[in-house]
Structure 1
Amino acid sequence: MEDSRKGIIVIAMVILGVSLQLIEVESRPQVPCFFIFGDSLSDSGNNNNLLTLAKANFLPYGMDHPNGPTGRFTNGKTTVDLIGDYLGLEDYIPPFSSVKDKEIVKGVNYASGSAGILQETGYQVGMRVSMDQQLINHKTAVLKLAKTLGKNSTTHLKKCIYSVYVGNNDWMLNYFAGGIAFFQGKPQAHSDILISKLSDQLKTLYGLGARKIIVFGIGPLGCLPILNVAGICSNYVNGVLEMYNAKLKSLVDAYNTKFTDAKFIWINTMAIVSPNNLNGLGLQVTNIPCCGVETPVCIPFSIPCVGREKYAYWDHEHPTEAANKVLAKRAYSAIKKTDVYPMGIRNLARLKLKA
């Protein structure tokens, strides 16, 4: 009996040792760099010095982030921060507004609160960096990188991960205002305009050397506290976005066929952060915000809710770190086949592309 116990202990120690080795390997950077495009869901400070209402560089925003209120529109880490953790990156990717030339080699965050696919998106709140301008900024960074790395810059860029998480404001601000149609066109027409424009933008990104691109689908905006009705998700809003997401997934499919030396993946954000899924993972409050209950955003230095780890939304428009953790984990690991298409971020990072 004693020998059996010793044998079990030895086996357990071997398994533990192997597990620790695996964790050590996974903790190393899986990619040399990470470039981030999008809106407030990914912004890490690009709006701080802009003349805009879309700012989050004050408490209680950032109260749970290691660096405090940096301009992130949540209480802690954003989804891309957490994906960076999964990729084993040593530092947070700096915003373009303050990045140093020597830092570009590891990536840049271009995302801007209230920005969108369309140039005019977000005009209601003031200055912002549109997706088109983010690509112009990326071109500037690529040119600087070329001066640093010379001929090796092209190979370096091909190994990087690129995150494109944009389109939320093109729907929320341009099309849905207070839960009703703001633009007169049918949602199908608006969807086609966005897909056409984003298609051009992804082509531009590919032309600047990107070969491993994440394209996030739009989440259930109909469940946002600012758009839901009496705490109940808007099936109309989410139905429209399901239609758009299907087109986005098809765009990813088409680009994988067109650009055989690259890989585009689509993240099923709508399903991953649905209230039902979040409820099942312990996020019990999915219809009211933790902060700014009576205002769209958090009032500076106000006191947020108690037990924020159980809340899905930080303010009326942005998720908590707890919800971001769910999206980042599922996008990276592809726990369910329906989470991603055609693969998750972990496999994208490991993928050996054609020369």
Structure 2
Amino acid sequence: MELWSFMIVCLSVCFTAEAIITLPGNETIPALILFGDSIIDTGSNNNIMTAIKSNFPPYGRDFQGGIPTGRFSNGKVPSDFLVVPLSEQLEQFKEYIGKLKENFGEAKTNFILSKSLVLVVSSSNDIANTYFASGARKLQYDVPTYTDMLVQTASSFVKELYGLGLRRIGVFGAPPLGCLPFVRTLFGGIERMCSEEINMASKLFNSKLSTQLHNLNQSLPQAKVVYINIYDPLLDIMQNPTKYGFEVADRACCGTGTVEVSFLCNPLDLLLTCTDDSNYVFWDSYHPTQKTYQILVAQIINTYINDFS
């Protein structure tokens, strides 16, 4: 599972996303810890032996300095927006980092972990790519059995995080994967419609995941395990793009907008790549644009922040 392979990397580098986060009641969280796939990767993928990378143009063209950082986006990704708007006490946290370096020990580590906010993004690649696009898992599982396995994997991962001392854990459900540009191209026929079969798989997974996380929240003492619904907000953007200031929702900005992602979205595609990505919901055929991420993160914060207090 991609979730597990990333966990090993994240455990060694996750504190690069540290920030002070303020919850209702002025309670501060000392660190934002992220586990997941390319949706939230801020560049750690550059240091991993993997064929799927994005540290080359036109990726990053709207990031500071126009430099490709390894983010699968034209600019920022959700982790950037989660850290920045919630980090009003950033200067205080910089001082706190200095004190941590001087006094770091087991007790302080336990405090950081117990008060941190952990966000887990998983299963999107497992459903869209591993199961449907490659078909590798279809020979072993039907959709109900496969989603059961993914939910069990996510549940076990949450329990491991809890066992490490983490208490505030948010887990993202799957987005409407059947409406991703590359999925429309592969499975949507000549009119590139959304794949209802794949969307149904996403919804089935989300229903099971939500129930399982609710059960964990009840059974793990002092835990705040929260299911984060990303399916409905993103689907609304896709179905009503003009409401959010977009013009194109079924194709991406990069290249033809139908299949390009990672190495297929490259400098050779510049002539085909859109000039104004703020009109597009998707940057490449799998990942949203910075503008889309910003809208989604604002909605997530407004909807779920109280659940972690």
| Corresponding position of 2:250 | 287
Q: Does residue 329 in structure 1 map to residue 303 in structure 2?
A: no
Distance 1:215 1:277 in 2: 26
| Corresponding position of 1:119 | none
Q: 1:54 is matched by which residue type in structure 2?
A: I
1:231, 1:288 within 8 Å by CA — same for their partners in 2? no
Q: 1:323 is matched by which residue type in structure 2?
A: T
| Corresponding position of 1:305 | 274
* Structure 1 residue 171: Cα displacement: 0.7
* Structure 1 residue 289: Cα displacement: 0.8
| Corresponding position of 1:155 | 111
| Corresponding position of 1:183 | 138
TM-score by length of structure 1 reads: 0.68
Q: 2:84 is matched by which residue type in structure 1?
A: D
Match among 223, 231, 235 for residue 192 of structure 2: 231
| Corresponding position of 1:207 | 163
CA offsets 1:157-188 (integer angstroms, 9 cap, x no match): 1111101011111112221117x785132100
Written as runs of structure 1 = structure 2, the 5 A alignment for 1:63-142 is 63-66=61-64, 68-88=67-87, 90=90
| Corresponding position of 2:201 | 240
* Structure 1 residue 308: Cα displacement: 0.9
* Structure 1 residue 45: Cα displacement: 1.3
Structure 1 runs (4+) greater than 6 angstroms displaced: none
* Structure 1 residue 279: Cα displacement: 4.0
Q: Does residue 347 in structure 1 map to residue 302 in structure 2?
A: no
Distance 1:80 1:254 in 2: 27
Distance 2:136 2:279 in 1: 32
CA offsets 1:209-268 (integer angstroms, 9 cap, x no match): 111111101001111111112332111110111011001111110111011301011111
Q: 2:296 is matched by which residue type in structure 1?
A: L
CA offsets 1:254-298 (integer angstroms, 9 cap, x no match): 111011301011111110101125442122211111003265221
* Structure 1 residue 347: Cα displacement: 1.7
| Corresponding position of 1:44 | 42
Distance 2:241 2:83 in 1: 22
Q: 1:36 is matched by which residue type in structure 2?
A: L
* Structure 1 residue 152: Cα displacement: 2.3
Which structure 1 segments of 5+ residues have no match?
1-23, 92-101, 106-144, 335-343
Match among 190, 195, 200 for residue 151 of structure 2: 195
* Structure 1 residue 305: Cα displacement: 0.5
Q: 1:248 to 1:302 in 2, by over 3 A?
A: same
Task: Find the residue that maps to 2:170 and give its secondary structure.
Answer: strand
Q: Does residue 320 in structure 1 map to residue 279 in structure 2?
A: no
Q: Does residue 268 in structure 1 map to residue 229 in structure 2?
A: yes
Which structure 2 segments of 5+ residues have no match?
1-21, 92-96
| Corresponding position of 2:15 | none
Distance 1:54 1:255 in 2: 33
Structure number with bigger Rg:
1
Distance 1:30 1:151 in 2: 18
Q: 1:167 to 1:55 in 2, by over 3 A?
A: same
1:271, 1:277 within 8 Å by CA — same for their partners in 2? no
Match among 194, 205, 212 for residue 251 of structure 1: 212
Structure with higher helix content:
2
Task: Find the residue that maps to 1:86 and give its secondary structure.
Answer: coil
2:252, 2:281 within 8 Å by CA — same for their partners in 1? yes
Q: 1:25 to 1:174 in 2, by over 3 A?
A: closer
Q: 2:146 is matched by which residue type in structure 1?
A: H
Q: 1:70 is matched by which residue type in structure 2?
A: T
1:291, 1:315 within 8 Å by CA — same for their partners in 2? yes
Q: Would you say how many aligned residue pairs link Structure 1 and Structure 2?
A: 265
